[in-house]
């Protein structure tokens, strides 16, 4: 009879949508999160015999998310995730490891034409960009990954693509002045491990990483999307202490100049070209940038999760 052993496993409640409203008089503040909990530990018997003696119900993990949002508030996705992860491991003996993954949806106040808020309680969802965090705690140390996804950026010039390999199937023309567009998904790993030094200012850290990544995108004259990606990572690591690793996934959202010759029209970039924006297929560029000597710990398959 073949002997089988249980490998890596986890369970929990995924995508708990929690919205926390904080009232400061007539001015309200909103935190809108999507929280997923995954727990691991002494789970051999539940898989072998169905005994639930060591199983904290996933419904309980859901209730904990909402109760903690009420009891402790939500200062940041990272703080909230750390509090949840420590609770599940430290207060539930069979649970040895908790991973909390959070997406945060940002809201702006609805303004009047003169730029002042229309009310203290009226909001509009901000674009498509999603802030996210993943917190993993094993009872000893904390690993915090912060990130964002669906941040769409475009340079209308300052990009070329030429000198590439050719074979019998290559038809792409070289381009000395092209649109460079992508939708950035990224995770970055903090040095802080929950011991010793105080936790970083998570909101400030997020703003700094986002700002430096965007400035590098804007200021890099690009001969390839790979070059731009690397410049973004280098800029972040050089400018943001306490971050050892950043991983990007960046689809090349191709813009092809339309062939207008049947209509007797030229379509040169210098004259203000017209482009066809192709949504698929697309080139997908992914890479990790590390501080020299740092270990690569962000999984390659995590980027778009």
Catalytic sites, residue numbers: 13, 58, 254
Angle at 196 between CA 211 and CA 238, to 5 degrees: 25
Does residue 130 contact residue 103 with C-beta atoms inside 8 Å? yes
Does residue 248 contact residue 217 with C-beta atoms inside 8 Å? no
Largest Cα span, the chain: 77
Q: Calculate the dihedral angle through the C-alpha atoms of 173, 220, 279, 210, rounding to the nearest 10 degrees.
A: 170
Helix orientation angle between 77-90 and 202-219, rounded to the nearest 10 degrees: 130
Distances (CA, A) of 223 to 54, 160, 162, 175, 229: 55, 5, 8, 10, 11
Q: C-alpha 159: how far from its chain's center?
A: 25
Q: Is the bond preceding residue 281 a cis peptide, omega within 30 degrees?
A: yes
Does residue 88 contact residue 96 with C-beta atoms inside 8 Å? no
């Amino acid at each position: 009879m073949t002997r089988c052993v249980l490998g890596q496993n986890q369970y929990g409640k995924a995508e708990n949508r929690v919205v926390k409203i904080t009232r400061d008089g007539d001015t309200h503040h909103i935190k809108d999160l999507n929280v997923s909990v995954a727990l691991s530990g002494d789970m051999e018997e539940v898989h072998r015999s169905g005994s639930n003696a060591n199983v904290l119900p996933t419904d309980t993990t859901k209730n904990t998310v909402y109760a903690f949002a009420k009891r402790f508030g939500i200062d940041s996705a990272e703080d909230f995730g750390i509090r949840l992860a420590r609770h599940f491991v430290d207060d539930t003996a069979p649970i040895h490891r908790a991973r909390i993954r959070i997406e945060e949806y940002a809201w702006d106040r609805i303004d009047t034409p003169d730029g002042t808020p229309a009310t203290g309680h009226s909001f509009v969802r901000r674009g498509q960009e999603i802030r996210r965090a993943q917190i993993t705690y094993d009872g000893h140390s904390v690993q915090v990954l912060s990130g964002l996804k669906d941040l769409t950026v475009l340079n209308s010039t300052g990009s070329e693509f030429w000198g590439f390999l050719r074979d019998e199937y290559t038809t792409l023309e070289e381009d000395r002045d092209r649109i460079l567009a992508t939708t950035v998904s990224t995770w970055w790993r903090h040095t802080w491990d929950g011991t010793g030094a105080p936790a970083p200012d998570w909101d400030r850290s997020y703003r700094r990483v986002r700002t430096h990544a965007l400035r590098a995108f804007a200021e890099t004259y690009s001969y390839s999307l790979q070059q731009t990606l690397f410049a973004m990572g280098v800029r972040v690591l050089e400018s943001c202490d306490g971050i050892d690793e950043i991983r990007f996934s960046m689809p090349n959202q191709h813009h092809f100049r339309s062939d207008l010759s049947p209509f007797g029209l030229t379509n040169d970039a210098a004259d203000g070209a017209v482009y066809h924006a192709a949504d698929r297929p697309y080139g997908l560029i992914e890479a990790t940038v590390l501080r020299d000597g740092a270990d690569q710990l962000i999984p390659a398959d995590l980027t778009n999760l």
